[in-house]
Amino acid sequence: NRRIVLASRPVGAPTSDNFRLETLAKPEPKQGEVLLRTIYLSLDPYMRGRMSDAKSYAEPVALGEVMIGGTVCQVEVSNHPDFAVGEWVLAYNVGWQSYAVSGAEGLLKLGANPSHPSYALGVMGMPGFTAYMGLLDIGAPKAGETIVVAAATGPVGATVGQIGKLKGARVVGIAGGADKCRHAVEVLGFDACIDHKSADFAAELAAACPDGIDVYFENVGGAVFDTVIPLLNTSARIPVCGLISQYNATELPAGPDRLSLLMGLILTKRIKVQGFIIFDDYGHRYGEFEQDMSQWLAEGKIQYREQIEQGLENAPEQLIGLLEGKNFGKLVIQVNQP
């Protein structure tokens, strides 16, 4: 059994020294337990938060403990009456390791032969659910309104934009680089997508939003949010989903402090700004999402791009890259072959 543990806490961007690969004996399941073989490990931005011991909505990973993460596994040995050998499950108690023993609790059954098992980590799982609830419940877009979303080709942003189009909105993405922007327009069907690394980013975003912005789905914060602010319409909604541009920050942005200007704008334009943590706030509504998203996928109305990288040992480097925008699509590590 191979596993990756948190060796030290990062200051700023994580480095490979913050992780340690360990090799142990394969664990043996007791009565009422199963041995899980990890096929896919999801890498997600929230993992940066769990590496830090700053106070947050969730406990940090302890030093020396296995890194946390969602996995799609197959049952290799079953000592539990409800699980058959070969069956697929979604697990949140396995993390960055090639095998793990688990009780039945916390395992979500995916069936004997799912057509796309890794989708449970992306478009049919946590990121897709995040996009669906944040956009529809907090953003509440109406037909003809303008939605802006950054990290537009990632699993959250791509899903936000495509649901926005299904609801009749104009959708403008923001992404890093020409390839990602082209994908957003040509494959995902966004009306426009602007490169936040472009020298003319602010002017290009303004030109792509001639009627202003009604829903800004906040995934990144920082300079992108600064550019969005002047374009916000009266009664705009901002679901605050993530602030990835700040996850590696060690200090507040340089002054002057613009908080009072922002609060003034929120007041005069009656802007709704609401954060959410997907399973804490919306866990009870997973069924609605599952039903709609399965149907949209079956009808070909939602496109989904994954970046599948081979080998558990490459997970640290891939997570470091995710926080710098190096991934293109939902980042998944293939840990074992099915």
From candidates 18, 74, 227, 245, binder to ligand NDP by CB under 6 A: 245
Q: How far is the CB of 289 from ligand NDP (least distance, A)?
A: 13
Q: Evaluate the omega torsion of the peptide bond into residue 256 and state whether it is cis, within 30 degrees of 0.
A: yes
Nearer to ligand NDP, 117 or 125 (CB): 125
CA distance 251 to 263: 21
User: What distance in Å separates the CA atoms of residue 194 and residue 117, rounded to the nearest whole number?
Assistant: 32
- Residue with CB nearest ligand NDP? 154
Enumerate residues 6+ apart whose C-beta is below 8 A from 48: 10, 14, 247, 248, 319, 323
Bridge pairing between strands 146-150 and 170-175: parallel
How far apart are CB 253 and ligand NDP at their closest, in Å?
12
Distance CA 75, CA 91 (A): 11
How many CB atoms are closer than 10 A to CB 258? 13
Would you count residue 70 as binding ligand NDP (CB under 6 A)?
Answer: no
**Cβ of residue 248: shortest distance to ligand NDP, in angstroms?**
8
**Cross-sheet strand order for the sheet of 170-175:** 192-195, 170-175, 146-150, 213-217, 232-240, 272-275
Restricting to residues 255-274, name those near ligand NDP by CB under 6 A.
none
DSSP 294-334: HHHHHTT-----EEEEE-GGGHHHHHHHHTTT---SEEEEE
Q: Under the criterion CB under 6 A, does residue 162 sit at the interface with ligand NDP?
A: no
Binding range to ligand NDP, per CB under 6 A, among 22-30, 98-106, 107-115, 154-162: 154-162
325 is a site residue for ligand NDP (CB under 6 A): yes
Name the residue nearer to ligand NDP (CB basis): 76 or 281: 281
> What is the three-class DSSP state of 182?
helix
Which region, judged by CB under 6 A, interacts with ligand NDP, from 94-102, 207-215, 239-247, 261-269? 239-247
Report in angstroms how near the CB of residue 257 gets to ligand NDP at its nearest: 21
42 forms part of the interface with ligand NDP (CB under 6 A): no
Instruction: Please state the closest distance from residue 63 (CB atom) to ligand NDP, in A.
Output: 23
Residue 45 within binding range of ligand NDP, rule CB under 6 A: yes
Stretch that binds ligand NDP, among 138-146, 203-211, 215-223, 289-297 (CB under 6 A): 215-223
Out of 154, 161, 164, 316, point to the residue binding ligand NDP (CB under 6 A). Answer: 154
Per-residue CA distances from 249 to 11, 127, 245 (Å): 9, 23, 8
**String marking each residue 93-122 x if it binds ligand NDP according to CB under 6 A:** ------------------------------
Which span (186-194, 198-206, 218-226, 283-291) binds ligand NDP, by CB under 6 A? 218-226
Q: Choose among 131, 60, 125, 130: nearest CA to 91.
A: 125
Which residue type does 210 have?
A: P
Q: What tokens does 100 get?
A: 């793990």
DSSP state of 205: H
224 binds ligand NDP (CB under 6 A): yes
Largest separation between any pair of C-alpha atoms in the chain? 63
Of 133-152, binders to ligand NDP (CB under 6 A) are 150-151
Which chain residues interact with ligand NDP by CB under 6 A? 44-46, 126-127, 130, 150-151, 153-157, 175-176, 180, 196, 219-220, 222, 224, 241-242, 244-245, 276-278, 322, 325, 327, 331
